[in-house]
């Protein structure tokens, strides 16, 4: 089976279409970054408090907002998280809620606000820690144990919490559910309601980033990207001519701009892992460009009397099969990630999905035309063509 048998498309001839296409998307992205959604930095970079809550029932966002407002938390961002059937909600507090002295005061306020109907003297079993449950059991000693009480009650507490977290998906709906829990002694199930009540929510993930760390990470991300680009420029300048390095850097810059622009347009948050994805797509786009460049270099040696634009066109066509196949296969794997990889990786996989498409496109549409354009410009100026003989390595 073969898709691309003897294909011969004039890619360079279409360069104005490519340029228009790229311009439209770049400008749209930049416009959004400047005026519309700006750059949607995730909590890693802007600081703040993220509390992920699972409710026992379908959450009423308005009611939650009202409860938080009563606790003095104004303007939290509350949005549904993951699939609707899971009743999960993400509460996002501004970085001003994290104070120097108590980093987690925002989170504490949220938990207190949501637990507003707590009966006095009882703890919330849906948000209790392992130690809280174990210490309670050690105190009450419902199983009348002697010397191995510590070990047995540790196991009991673990069984209760495991059942809550792994089987029930983080919250108890009622104490009756304890009766069916594996590894939980009936005496323990009977005594827990004495010291605990059940709220209607459980916190399953918390991310709190102080403002200091946020700024630090922004700097680090910026530096990492810069060094990557620099490394690329140096390596390519070393393996080919410097103009190849410049073309590759411009290409990669174009890819990054469009990807970040897409994030801005869709208002998807840019977290640390998204930056990792962007650095990866820089690597991927670069790979793609190198494949075409390698073929150009090889053909320059073989087709000494042809024009550069002819050589470049021929090279692109020759590598087209590989380019489309690799892009397709990698895209397949990344698409699997985007569709099946879960909510946590959503931003990461979006960056890769866009990145692979754009990265493949840019090697043909941006990198190659730059080489030829530079060459033509040099010839016009009467200088010796320089993009021709790549150093034989």
Partner 1 sequence: MNKNILWKWGLIVGTTLFFLFGIFGIPKSLSGEGLLNALTDHIHLGLDLKGGTHLILQVQVNDAVNVDAQNAIEVLKDQFRAHKIDYSDISQSDPQNNPDHIVIKGVQPGARGDLVSIVQDRLAEYDITGGPDNSWNMAMKPSMLRDLKSKAVTQAIETIRNRVDALGVSEPTIQEHGLGQYQILVQLPSVDDPERVKDIMQNTAMLEIKQVIGGPYPSEQAALQEKGGIVPVDQMLLPGNTLGGHAEGEQWFFVSRVSAISGKDLRHASPGSDQNGQPDVNFQLTGEGGQRFFSFTSAHVKDSLGVVLDGKVREVATIDEPIRDQVEIRGHMDNQSAKDLAMILNSGALPASIKYLEERTIGPSLGADSIRSGVRAAVIGMVAVLIFMLIYYRGAGVNADVALIMNLIILLGFLGWSTIAGVNVALTLPGIAGVILTVGMGVDSNVLIFERIREELHNGKTPPSAVDQGFSHAWITIVDTHVTTIVSAAILFIFGSGPVKGFATTLTFGLLANLFTAVFVSRAIFEWVLSRKQRGEALSI
Q: By CB under 8 A, what part of segment 99-158 binds partner 1?
A: 100, 103-104, 129-132
- In the bound state with partner 1, the residue whose beta carbon lies nearer, of 32 and 317, is 317
- In the bound state with partner 1, the residue whose beta carbon lies nearer, of 21 and 130, is 130
Is position 337 an interface residue for partner 1 (rule: CB under 8 A)? yes
Structure tokens at 16: 């104005």
- Nearest residue to 261 via CA among 43, 46, 22, 77: 22
Angle at 376 between CA 234 and CA 281, to 5 degrees: 40
Residue among 191, 279, 358, 366 that touches partner 1 (CB under 8 A): 279
Is position 332 an interface residue for partner 1 (rule: CB under 8 A)? yes
- Nearest residue to 369 via CA among 86, 17, 4: 17
- Nearest residue to 207 via CA among 81, 331, 387: 81
Residues in 248-267 at the binding interface with partner 1, rule: CB under 8 A: none
Residue among 227, 301, 385, 389 that touches partner 1 (CB under 8 A): 227
Q: What would the DSSP string read from start to end of 45-111?
A: HH-EEEEEEEESS---HHHHHHHHHHTT--S-EEEEES-GGGTEEEEEE-GGGS-SS-TTHHHHHHH
Structure tokens at 360: 């493949």
Query: H or E stretch including 146?
Result: none
- In the bound state with partner 1, the residue whose beta carbon lies nearer, of 69 and 148, is 148
| Contact by Cβ (8 Å): 308, 387 | yes
Task: Supply the minimum distance, in Å, between the C-beta of residue 28 and partner 1.
Answer: 27
Length of the chain: 393
Is position 268 an interface residue for partner 1 (rule: CB under 8 A)? no
Task: Supply the minimum distance, in Å, between the C-beta of residue 45 and partner 1.
Answer: 12
Residue among 55, 153, 348, 374 that touches partner 1 (CB under 8 A): 348
Residue among 329, 377, 386, 389 that touches partner 1 (CB under 8 A): 329
Residues in 44-63 at the binding interface with partner 1, rule: CB under 8 A: 52
Query: H or E stretch including 364?
Result: none
Residues in 284-323 at the binding interface with partner 1, rule: CB under 8 A: 284, 286-287, 290-291, 294, 298, 318-319, 321-322
Residues in 356-385 at the binding interface with partner 1, rule: CB under 8 A: none
- In the bound state with partner 1, the residue whose beta carbon lies nearer, of 352 and 366, is 352
> What is the 8-class DSSP label of residue 182?
T
């Amino acid at each position: 089976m073969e898709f691309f048998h003897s294909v011969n498309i004039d890619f360079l001839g279409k360069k104005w279409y490519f340029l228009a296409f790229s311009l439209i998307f770049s400008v749209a992205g930049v416009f959004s970054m400047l005026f519309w959604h700006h750059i949607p930095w995730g909590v890693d970079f802007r600081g703040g408090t993220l509390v992920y809550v699972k409710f026992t029932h379908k959450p009423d966002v308005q009611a939650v907002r009202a409860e938080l407002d009563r606790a003095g938390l104004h303007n939290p961002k509350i949005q549904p998280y993951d699939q609707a059937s899971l009743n999960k909600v993400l509460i996002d507090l501004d970085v001003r809620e994290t104070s120097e002295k108590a980093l987690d005061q925002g989170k504490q306020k949220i938990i207190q606000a949501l637990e507003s109907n707590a009966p006095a003297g009882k703890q919330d079993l849906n948000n209790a820690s392992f130690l809280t449950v174990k210490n309670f059991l050690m105190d009450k000693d419902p199983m009348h144990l002697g010397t191995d009480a510590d070990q047995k009650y540790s196991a009991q507490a673990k069984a209760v919490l495991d059942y809550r977290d792994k089987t029930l998906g983080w919250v108890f709906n009622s104490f009756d559910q304890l009766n069916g829990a594996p590894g939980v002694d009936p005496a323990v199930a009977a005594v827990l309601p004495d010291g605990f009540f059940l709220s209607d929510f459980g916190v399953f993930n918390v991310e709190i980033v102080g403002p200091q760390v946020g700024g630090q990470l922004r700097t680090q991300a910026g530096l990492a990207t810069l060094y990557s680009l620099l490394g690329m420029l140096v390596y390519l300048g070393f393996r080919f001519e410097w103009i190849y390095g410049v073309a590759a850097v411009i290409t990669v810059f174009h890819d990054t701009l469009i990807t970040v622009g897409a994030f801005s347009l869709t208002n998807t948050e840019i977290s640390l892992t998204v930056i990792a994805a962007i650095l990866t797509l820089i690597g991927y786009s670069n790979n793609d460009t190198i494949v075409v460049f390698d073929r150009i270099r090889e053909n320059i040696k073989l087709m000494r009397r042809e024009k550069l634009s002819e050589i470049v066109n021929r090279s692109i066509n020759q590598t087209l099969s590989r380019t489309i196949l690799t892009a397709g296969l990698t895209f397949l794997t990344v698409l699997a990630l985007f569709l099946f990889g879960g909510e946590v990786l959503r931003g990461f996989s979006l960056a890769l999905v866009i990145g692979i498409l754009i990265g493949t496109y840019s090697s043909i549409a941006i990198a190659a035309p730059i080489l030829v354009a530079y060459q033509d410009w040099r010839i016009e100026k009467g200088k010796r063509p320089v993009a021709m003989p790549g150093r034989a390595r």
